[in-house]
Structure 1
Amino acid sequence: MKVIVIGCTHAGTAAVKTLANVNNNIDITVYEKNNNVSFLSCGIALYVGGVAKDASQLFYSSPDELKSLGATMHMEHEVLEIDTENKKVLVKDLNSGETRSDFYDKLVMTTGSWPIIPPIEGIRLGNILLSKNYNQANDIIAKTKDVNHVTVIGAGYIGVELVEAFEQNGKKVTLIDSEDRILNKYLDKEFTDIIEEELKGKDIELALQQTVTKFEGNEAGNVTKVITTKGEYETDLVILCVGFRPNTGLLKDKVDLLPNGAIKINEYMQTSDPDIYAAGDSCAVNYNPTGDKVYIPLATNAVRMGTLVGYNIAGQNVKYMGTQGTSGLHLFGLSMASTGLTELTAKANNIPYEAATIIENDRPEFMPTFEEVRLKVLYHQETREILGAQIISKADMTQMMNTLSVCIQTKMTIDELAFVDFFFQPHFNKPWNTLNQAGLAAVAKQAEKVKEPTGV
């Protein structure tokens, strides 16, 4: 059996490794547009900020490693067309310009995503950069050396991480977003308020609830000003971080897609064409909190899905369990994470919910040091199943979101969470674990609702 893998970052690399390790009789051919594989784009801000000193450490595999596993690697090759009826692909060698056809028995679409480039006047000016791959990371570092003022457009994870990196490099930073607060897809307002105060304390300019309408430049063709619906901002460099779109144009009208182009898959990672598999940022995920197919581009989703592609093509038949969209962030000394629904997304999905919020110290006050923790758990008003959670603290309590991710996946109720067995040790926590405390708060709240009047 011949398998062609198109794209080899996270999902593609995982698919190749799994296929090769599970069944080394499968003929694996990889076509990748770049000259590298497996780049951790989530490490760009750490690289830009100087935390990651060696860029080579942001790669966890290489073309040579995949070759050693038996894969035929065609780097700097672009697939131009897919003929699904005849199971052929048309490929262009980006160095020589030559094109040729190749055939497959099974096709793996791990083409990933690409940053959204909005159609704004002046968008093609110099010093307006993207932040996605290795070459762009190096470009950002090179351009940042000679500038004083950096403007980041987009206040999601990548945007705010870059803001921190630029501030720590001594740059004046402006952060622009059309929403009324930062990180609104991941955290509720009482959490983002804390982070915004940290940013303001670092003299980072927050320009929220405004949309960029135009870029202006100088005679050299470089950007000098960002104009929005609310103001104008002088700048030397702009980083666009407004989101991602799946790279799935090759399969348009050939398999079932979401309106944004993300590929729909079944529980065995197959598209509507059973001989075409998909994984990673190119496709939608099965989102357990709502049961819908949703576009959530995360590296963790990609490596899991790519691994499942490998197992299933090799004949192991391993089902995809879906995702809760669990993610975390470290910013200016604060550790934060979330899983599942926020209040914003629960309302958007018309899901009746209640919330239990705990503000507590991470360990007993008799210890030499302790830090305040804010935990919020959302649960279904009727079924009492846990729907989502968020946490923030100067102490690293983020692993609690991994625990609650499992709780959401297994449909645990908030009442069960109250009495789950967690260890206690003063170096780490209190006798009642913070997760237990959230459950207990919800149980007490429910008891108040059903309590009968006792009279006098």
Structure 2
Amino acid sequence: MKVAVIGCTHAGTAAILNTAKLYPEAEITVYERNDNISFLSCGIALYVGGIVKDPQGLFYSSPNKLAELGVKTKMRHDVISVDTENKKIIAKNLDTNEEFEDTFDKLIVTTGSWPIIPKIEGIDLENILLSKNFYHSNAIIEKAKDVKNIVVVGAGYIGVELVEAFQMNGKNVTLIDSLDRIMSKYLDKEYTDIAEKAFKDHGVKLALGETVEKFEGKDGKVSKVITNKGEYEAELVILCIGFRPNTELLKGQVDTLPNGAIIVDEYMRTSKEDVFAAGDSCAIKYNPTGKTEYIPLATNAVRMGTLVARNLVKPTTRHLGTQGTSGIKIYEYNIASTGLTENAAKANGLEVMSVMVQDNYRPEFMPTYEMVQFKVVYEKESRKVLGAQILSKADMTQMANTMSVVIQNGMTIEELGFVDFFFQPHFNKPWSILNMAGLQAE
């Protein structure tokens, strides 16, 4: 069996490692544009902030490790065309410019995503950077050394984490987003208000509800960001607007969403036989709505890549869907969410209710305790849990993982009230915070 893999970050690495293990007789060839693989881009802010000193720790595999498994690792090779009908690809060696043809029995497409780059006047000025891969992280660190004023455009997780890292490095930071709240995709206002206050308390300037209209420069370098409501000094700008799937190679050959994300079934099969896909290039079943949606997360990618290998020869293990569970630390606050926010549920046309619990996570007779703010969103008629959000100075983020299972299994808010959770004063109260939400909803 001849297996070709295009792209090698989270999903690609998982697919290759598991394919090599399950099918030792397979001839596996991986094509990767870069000279490195498996970079954990979610660690960029930690690297920029100096928490991670050695960036090599952000790589969890290498071309050498793959080669040891008998995988042909073609680094610095760009696949320029794919013929899924005749099972052929054309690749280009980026060092020699040589082009050649290869064939496959099974194709695994793990081409990932790329940051959205808006068509804005001045976008080509120097010191306007992206934040996605290892080279970006090095460029950000290098450029940030000698500047004082930094603007981050985009208030999702990546932008927010970079803002904190820059501020802690003593920079003057402005965060711009066209929406009126930070992280609004993941959290409702009760949570984003707290996070925004933390940024303001640390001197970060928030320019929310503002759209960037142009970048101005001096001597070819960015010097100012102009929005529809103001202008901000900037010697360095980081664009964190979002991601779009890299799927041009398969355009018109497989079924996709309007944004180009490849639609796969529960066994990671595309609409073309023997062509599989995984990771940020794909759409995936989102359990809270039951719809196929684009949710680029490293956790989804490694699961999907692993499932590709399991289902490569015959369908054996199905994907369970996702809740889009994620977590973030902002200064002293530990925050996590899973499933739909109340806002997102309503935007999806769902009639929902919510319950908020604010209580100390363990008994007040203990030497220390912290308040937890826990919100559950559930469907009004079916009572099914659709989403949850957690915030505390104590690390209670694992509650989001528990709630992810609750949503995945279609549990109701009443059932949540009586789930069997342990009690031990070091960790919690006789009624868990999660139980409390179910009881309060009743």
What TM-score bracket applies, with the shorter chain setting the length?
Answer: over 0.9
Q: Is the 8 A contact 1:324 1:405 kept in 2?
A: yes
Q: How many residues align?
A: 442
| Aligned twin of 1:423 | 422
- Using the TM superposition, give the Cα deviation of residue 86 of structure 1 relative to its aligned residue in structure 2, in angstroms: 1.0
SS of the equivalent of 1:422 reads: coil
Distance 1:305 1:148 in 2: 41
| Aligned twin of 1:292 | 291
Alpha-carbon displacement from aligned partner over 1:101-126 (angstroms, at most 9, x marks no partner): 00011110100000000000000000
Distance 1:85 1:419 in 2: 54
Q: Is the 8 A contact 1:22 1:314 kept in 2?
A: no
Distance 1:60 1:395 in 2: 29
Alpha-carbon displacement from aligned partner over 1:324-345 (angstroms, at most 9, x marks no partner): 0000001101100000000111
| Aligned twin of 2:59 | 59
Distance 2:6 2:343 in 1: 36
1:394 aligns with 2:415: no
| Aligned twin of 1:361 | 360
Alpha-carbon displacement from aligned partner over 1:269-299 (angstroms, at most 9, x marks no partner): 0111021100000000110011111001000
SS of the equivalent of 1:89 reads: strand
Aligned-partner residue type, residue 215 of structure 2: F
| Aligned twin of 1:92 | 92
Divergent runs of 4+, >4 A = none
Alpha-carbon displacement from aligned partner over 1:190-249 (angstroms, at most 9, x marks no partner): 100000000000010000001000000002x10000000000101110000000000000
TM score, norm. by length of structure 1: 0.96
| Aligned twin of 1:156 | 156
Distance 1:93 1:348 in 2: 46
Aligned-partner residue type, residue 209 of structure 1: G
Aligned-partner residue type, residue 42 of structure 2: C
Distance 1:163 1:173 in 2: 6
Distance 2:286 2:261 in 1: 14
Aligned-partner residue type, residue 391 of structure 1: I
Distance 2:296 2:323 in 1: 12
- Using the TM superposition, give the Cα deviation of residue 314 of structure 1 relative to its aligned residue in structure 2, in angstroms: 4.2
| Aligned twin of 2:134 | 134
| Aligned twin of 1:109 | 109
Distance 2:61 2:315 in 1: 24
| Aligned twin of 1:72 | 72
Distance 1:46 1:311 in 2: 33
Distance 2:396 2:284 in 1: 26
Distance 2:349 2:132 in 1: 34
Aligned-partner residue type, residue 172 of structure 1: N
Distance 1:135 1:116 in 2: 17
1:82 aligns with 2:82: yes
1:349 aligns with 2:353: no
Distance 1:23 1:79 in 2: 24
SS of the equivalent of 1:284 reads: strand
| Aligned twin of 2:276 | 277
| Aligned twin of 2:413 | 414
| Aligned twin of 1:168 | 168
| Identical residues among aligned pairs (%) | 63
- Using the TM superposition, give the Cα deviation of residue 69 of structure 1 relative to its aligned residue in structure 2, in angstroms: 1.2
Distance 1:294 1:186 in 2: 15
Q: How does 1:210-249 map to 2 (within 5 A)?
A: 210-219=210-219, 221-249=220-248
Distance 1:199 1:436 in 2: 32
| Aligned twin of 2:202 | 202
Q: Is the 8 A contact 1:288 1:324 kept in 2?
A: yes
- Using the TM superposition, give the Cα deviation of residue 20 of structure 1 relative to its aligned residue in structure 2, in angstroms: 0.8
Q: Is the 8 A contact 2:222 2:236 kept in 1?
A: yes
Distance 2:264 2:344 in 1: 23
Q: How does 1:186-197 map to 2 (within 5 A)?
A: 186-197=186-197
Q: Is the 8 A contact 1:19 1:314 kept in 2?
A: no
1:33 aligns with 2:30: no
Q: How does 1:435-454 map to 2 (within 5 A)?
A: 435-443=434-442
Q: Is the 8 A contact 2:353 2:379 kept in 1?
A: yes
Distance 1:318 1:421 in 2: 29
Q: Is the 8 A contact 2:267 2:315 kept in 1?
A: no
Q: Is the 8 A contact 2:115 2:132 kept in 1?
A: yes
SS of the equivalent of 1:51 reads: coil
SS of the equivalent of 2:437 reads: helix
Alpha-carbon displacement from aligned partner over 1:159-187 (angstroms, at most 9, x marks no partner): 00000000000000000000001000000
Change (3 A) 1:262 1:316: closer
Alpha-carbon displacement from aligned partner over 1:135-177 (angstroms, at most 9, x marks no partner): 1100000000000011000000000000000000000000000
- Using the TM superposition, give the Cα deviation of residue 28 of structure 1 relative to its aligned residue in structure 2, in angstroms: 0.7
- Using the TM superposition, give the Cα deviation of residue 356 of structure 1 relative to its aligned residue in structure 2, in angstroms: 1.0
Distance 2:142 2:25 in 1: 45
Distance 1:194 1:355 in 2: 19
Aligned-partner residue type, residue 227 of structure 2: T
Question: Where do 5+ consecutive residues of structure 2 fail to align?
Answer: none
| Aligned twin of 1:15 | 15
- Using the TM superposition, give the Cα deviation of residue 315 of structure 1 relative to its aligned residue in structure 2, in angstroms: 3.5
Q: Is the 8 A contact 1:23 1:314 kept in 2?
A: no
Question: Where do 5+ consecutive residues of structure 1 fail to align?
Answer: 444-456
| Aligned twin of 1:336 | 335
Distance 1:332 1:181 in 2: 18
| Aligned twin of 1:450 | none
SS of the equivalent of 2:263 reads: coil
SS of the equivalent of 1:335 reads: strand
Distance 2:28 2:373 in 1: 48
Distance 1:365 1:85 in 2: 66
Aligned-partner residue type, residue 19 of structure 1: T
Q: Is the 8 A contact 1:363 1:430 kept in 2?
A: yes
Measured on the aligned residues, the alpha-carbon RMSD in Å equals: 0.7
